[in-house]
Structure 1
């Protein structure tokens, strides 16, 4: 674990935060399989259109990415985050990794609000989809075989369309965010990196306000 923290501290901290928050929500709900309806923390952190507008839960397009519905949802997402996040963080560095992660999570959250306003949503899947796309760029920069990360993305996209109960626009939002962020961070100029990282959630917010209008 010390070695993991040295090479990917942000990944470990984000994973730990998700686990701790889920444990609090599970304790409130008195359930390991359904924390959605019985936890005040979940209700305050999940992204849901009416709460975002009426109750002014302005933080939820980010906070939703740190909450999970049940122990299975948490386990799968944290396993993926530990594996993929470590590689992406080691490649881009901790500061850039955190910025990429937050940008993808917020952009996905805003897309959910735009296109799936009435669906309460929680989970790190949107950010994870972006990390999967960024993993392709990591492999490409190393001259490694791209088949494994590409298959990973394709399998998860197919899973999104075939499985009920997942956030279609959360997953696709993360996928689109990952593509845009990868195009930006593959450029040599740090200015382009940050234009993409900051500009993406800003554009997603204007899309939300434009559609809402």
Structure 2
């Protein structure tokens, strides 16, 4: 595990545990639409270091632990952080835009940033498979990616759970764009993969444009 990944996981864990035991600290740094609109922009970043519980924290950090090394190996620790922070920001900007008329909307977690890293790793290593705890067979990473974004669109439309679907989707877009910006040759070497991953992204913007989401 690279030093930068150790730092990200350690800082996220420390801040999350502080939030578990300090409601006022948690409230001050969570993603809160009304507070952000009133000027507390720091919540766009600070909310990524808070998690709902140990399970939420573990899932995000374990996913990051699994896929961040791919991005670091292809690029560098610096560009890994560009993708991580960039995806976090894109995810929260999309969330802010999508829920701008709901000042009480709240969210926490590094899921958007982690999704960006996951999508970057799919583009960089398209042949890898993912193994899910409840599915005993390997799943091609790109199939998981497409399916998860389609599920995120469904979740955004239903808006009936406490999952930050917009942050997940925005984070994936961030990882997708930042990876292709750094490695545009992927468009030529993996055109089918890039096209397939674009399908849910285009679908989202079409649904938003036509007021169906």
TM-score (norm 1): 0.71
Match of 1:149 in 2: 141
Q: Is the 8 A contact 2:20 2:26 kept in 1?
A: no
Q: Structure 2: state its 5+ residue gaps.
A: 130-138, 186-213
* 1:86 aligned onto 2:38: no
Match of 1:46 in 2: 30
Shift of 1:40: 1.8
* 1:129 aligned onto 2:121: no
Indicate which of 154, 170, 174 corresponds to 2:171.
174
Match of 1:26 in 2: 20
Map of 1:193-204 to 2, 5 A cutoff?
none
Report which of the two has the higher share of strand: 2
The DSSP-based 3-state class of the residue aligned with 1:131 is helix
Provide the rounded CA distance (Å) in 1 between the counterparts of 2:81 and 2:183.
16
Shift of 1:157: 3.2
Match of 1:71 in 2: 54
1:183–1:172: structure 2 CA closer, same or farther, 3 Å change rule?
A: same
Q: Is the 8 A contact 1:62 1:106 kept in 2?
A: yes
RMSD: 2.1
Q: Is the 8 A contact 1:105 1:124 kept in 2?
A: yes
Shift of 1:22: 1.0
Provide the rounded CA distance (Å) in 1 between the counterparts of 2:147 and 2:66.
16
Q: Structure 1: state its 5+ residue gaps.
A: 29-38, 189-213
Shift of 1:152: 3.3
Provide the rounded CA distance (Å) in 2 between the counterparts of 1:145 and 1:74.
24
Map of 1:102-113 to 2, 5 A cutoff?
102-113=85-96
The DSSP-based 3-state class of the residue aligned with 1:166 is coil
TM-score (norm 2): 0.71
Shift of 1:158: 5.4
